Amino acid sequence: MMKAIVYSEYGAPEVLRLKEVEKPAPKDNEIQVRVRATSITVGDLWARNFKAISPREFSMPLPLWLPSRMFFGISKPRISILGSELFFTSEKVPILLTKKYPL
């Protein structure tokens, strides 16, 4: 298990909750990392409240609004954990990667 800030609905910062979630298992070609720190970006703020962003308020070209809305989720978020910029340490590195890319 691991701790994560999650959200299950769009809205103000009050929709964010600290929860214990299942730690994902890495695939054979993936590295498992331990996140030490993360930042909050403007993209995270948009994602958290994307339902409230109208096409007129969208800061990208208008034709991207609908695909973005479908990516983030129409009525509720598709991805419940925010964050994309991380400081991490590696926990588990597959043997296939260490043979191909020695550390």
What's the pLDDT tens digit per position in 47-59?
Answer: 888 887 888 888 7
Into how many domains does the chain fold?
Answer: 1
- pLDDT for 44 equals 86
Whole-number pLDDT of residue 101: 59
CA 65, 57, 74, 44 dihedral sign is positive
Burial of 48: CB neighbours in 10 Å, binned 0-12, 13-18, 19+: buried
Domain span holding position 63: 2-100
The pLDDT, as a whole number, for residue 8 is 93
- Other C-beta atoms within 10 Å of 47: how many? 22
Query: SS3 for 36?
Result: strand
- Residues of the chain below pLDDT 50: none
